Chain A
Amino acid sequence: MELISKLGINLGMLIAQLVNFLLLLFILKKYVYGPVLEKLEQRKNMIAKSVSDSKAADETLRDIEKARSEMIEKTKSQSLAMIEAAAASAEEAKNSILESSRREAQAIFDQSKLQIAREKEKMLKEASEELGRLVVQAAEKIIEREFTPEDQKRLALQATEQFSQK
């Protein structure tokens, strides 16, 4: 008891200090510990979410990159195929045009040839007729008589045959 008295131990002071401490505990818990721990938890969740979002974004980016390169590859192969098809089609068109031109030229050539032959035949016919007539006239002048139509026909025919043979 002497020690208690010397140290000044007093129940009122003890209770006052207990009340002080409990009051401080209540206030700090309500205004500091609770909000800080809640905010730290929120921040932790936010960071975790950001990390997972960033991972998801990375994956999406990777997918997009993959899709883009696939699309480029596909487009490249498609364009190559189109170029090849166009070249083939152009070649075919060229061949067809050439063939048709060649055929047309041949037709024109055949036609001209035919016409020349006809002209030649006609000319020869006219020339032989003229020749027959000239032969008859010359013979008439030589023998100084007129031929009958039968003679004239025969002479003209002979002259034409000889002309044709030559």
Chain B
Amino acid sequence: MSKVVENIKVTGTGAEAGAGTGNSPAAASSFLPPTIYSETVGHVGGFEIRNTLLMSWISVLFLCVVAWRFSRNYMKNDVPSSLQNLVEMIIEGLYDFFHSVTQDVRQTKQFFGICATIFLFIVVSNWFGIFPGVGPIGVWEVEEGHKILVPLLRSTFSDVNMTLAIAFISVVMTQVYGMMNLKFGGYWGKFFVNPLRDPIGFAVGLLELVSEFSKIISFSFRLYGNIFAGEVLLAVIGFLAPYLAPFPFYGLELFVGLVQALVFSLLTLVFFKMGSTGHGGHDEVAHTSGQKHAITAS
């Protein structure tokens, strides 16, 4: 532990840290982009702790503290506090927004927990990822003969493990809600059609089944790509012009963080809705897929 503390260095800007430059004279003249994988910053027993996981814990802790502060006396007080007002506004806004997609109170209530948590977790993690100190503070390590700075904290979703986990939950829960709303046979009947009765339907069903699970990849790489690209962008701009120039790009990253959270949660909701709609609800499916395409296009 003391070795780690000894090795902790703080660089001038996040961009320099991302580039692995900073106080290292050897690296000062070269630009090293952020790595596409997260870095291990320590071990607990046999379990490795990576910088993105640390950041994820901080985001979860922050949301839990807000939830705890919010819930104190909330049901007793008729006049909410400022924090309670803010949280209420966010939750009500999300609820109304999700309801405008599902158009069904029961389904909105059923899907709300996961979709809202996905949104809040992603937006908070993305915004925390561009905080000062996330990136510049790290440990110098030698890798393949080069001295590089391993950041202690890194944006959670710049690690494909993190996006994969959320995408996995989204796709698995789509199947769960589908089976809950259409019953087991009704749901899987959409994918497994008798080839003797309807050969085309059989082929389409298999394709749909494949596309159902390929969503994990599209979901996770969309978010990962956007956030990782944001990191690279900030690193490049910070390397080229460390002062003032990155400022508008921080604004852009705030916006991208919000939009990606919205896209992930809304796509999850649309998939939940589509998964819970049987063959009889063609109009409804068409409607929701229209929304999905609109979101994807945006």
The DSSP consensus for interface residues of chain B is helix
Please tell me if the beta carbons of B63 and A24 are within 8 angstroms of each other in the complex: yes
The residue in chain A whose Cβ has the minimal distance to the Cβ of B109 is A37
Residue of B56, B114, B161 with most partner-chain A CB within 10 A: B161
Please tell me if the beta carbons of A8 and B95 are within 8 angstroms of each other in the complex: no
The residue in chain B whose Cβ has the minimal distance to the Cβ of A22 is B169
Please tell me if the beta carbons of A14 and B168 are within 8 angstroms of each other in the complex: yes
Please tell me if the beta carbons of B166 and A32 are within 8 angstroms of each other in the complex: no
The contact of A31 among B48, B71, B114, B116, by CB within 8 Å, is B71
User: Is A9 at the interface (CB under 8 A from chain B)?
Assistant: yes
Q: Which residues of B have CB within 8 Å of A23? A: 60
User: Is B112 at the interface (CB under 8 A from chain A)?
Assistant: yes
User: Is B88 at the interface (CB under 8 A from chain A)?
Assistant: yes
Q: Which residues of A have CB within 8 Å of B70? A: 31-32
User: Is A10 at the interface (CB under 8 A from chain B)?
Assistant: yes
Please tell me if the beta carbons of A17 and B161 are within 8 angstroms of each other in the complex: yes
The contact of A33 among B37, B60, B113, by CB within 8 Å, is B113
User: Is A72 at the interface (CB under 8 A from chain B)?
Assistant: no
Q: Which residues of B have CB within 8 Å of A38? A: 75
B156-172 residues at the A interface, CB under 8 angstroms:
159-162, 164-166, 168-169
User: Is B47 at the interface (CB under 8 A from chain A)?
Assistant: yes
The contact of A27 among B64, B88, B116, by CB within 8 Å, is B64
Are A24 and B71 also in contact (CB < 8 A) when A6-B37, A9-B161, A13-B159 are? Answer: no
Please tell me if the beta carbons of B67 and A27 are within 8 angstroms of each other in the complex: yes
Place the interface of chain A in its size category.
20 to 34
What are the interface flags for B56-78 relative to A under an 8 Å C-beta threshold, 1 for contact and 0 otherwise?
A: 11001001100110110011000
User: Is A83 at the interface (CB under 8 A from chain B)?
Assistant: no
Please tell me if the beta carbons of B159 and A40 are within 8 angstroms of each other in the complex: no
Please tell me if the beta carbons of B67 and A28 are within 8 angstroms of each other in the complex: yes
User: Is B266 at the interface (CB under 8 A from chain A)?
Assistant: no
The DSSP consensus for interface residues of chain A is helix
A6–B161 alpha-carbon span in the complex (Å): 12
A8–B36 alpha-carbon span in the complex (Å): 8
A39-80 residues at the B interface, CB under 8 angstroms:
39-40
The residue in chain B whose Cβ has the minimal distance to the Cβ of A16 is B53
B53 to chain A, nearest CB (A): 6
A116–B241 alpha-carbon span in the complex (Å): 149
User: Is A20 at the interface (CB under 8 A from chain B)?
Assistant: yes
Are A10 and B161 also in contact (CB < 8 A) when A18-B169, A24-B121 are? Answer: yes
User: Is A149 at the interface (CB under 8 A from chain B)?
Assistant: no
The residue in chain A whose Cβ has the minimal distance to the Cβ of B77 is A39
The residue in chain A whose Cβ has the minimal distance to the Cβ of B166 is A21
Please tell me if the beta carbons of A21 and B121 are within 8 angstroms of each other in the complex: yes
B127-165 residues at the A interface, CB under 8 angstroms:
159-162, 164-165
Are A20 and B161 also in contact (CB < 8 A) when A27-B67, A29-B113, A35-B74 are? Answer: no
The residue in chain A whose Cβ has the minimal distance to the Cβ of B96 is A40
Please tell me if the beta carbons of B91 and A33 are within 8 angstroms of each other in the complex: yes
Are A21 and B37 also in contact (CB < 8 A) when A14-B168, A32-B87 are? Answer: no
The residue in chain B whose Cβ has the minimal distance to the Cβ of A8 is B37
Q: Which residues of B have CB within 8 Å of A15? A: 165
Please tell me if the beta carbons of B71 and A32 are within 8 angstroms of each other in the complex: yes
A112–B109 alpha-carbon span in the complex (Å): 114
Please tell me if the beta carbons of A28 and B161 are within 8 angstroms of each other in the complex: no
Are A12 and B47 also in contact (CB < 8 A) when A20-B56, A24-B64 are? Answer: yes
Please tell me if the beta carbons of B87 and A20 are within 8 angstroms of each other in the complex: no
Are A17 and B56 also in contact (CB < 8 A) when A37-B95, A37-B109, A39-B75 are? Answer: yes
User: Is B50 at the interface (CB under 8 A from chain A)?
Assistant: yes
The 4 A-B pairs of least Cβ separation, nearest first, read A8-B37, A17-B165, A13-B161, A31-B71
Task: Give 10 pairs: A residue, B residue, CB < 8 Å, sorted on A.
Answer: A7-B37, A8-B38, A21-B165, A21-B166, A21-B169, A23-B60, A24-B117, A25-B117, A32-B67, A33-B113
16 further A-B pairs in the complex, CB-CB below 8 A; given A6-B37, A17-B162, A21-B117: A6-B36, A8-B36, A8-B37, A10-B48, A13-B52, A13-B53, A16-B53, A16-B56, A18-B165, A20-B165, A24-B117, A27-B67, A32-B70, A37-B91, A37-B95, A38-B75
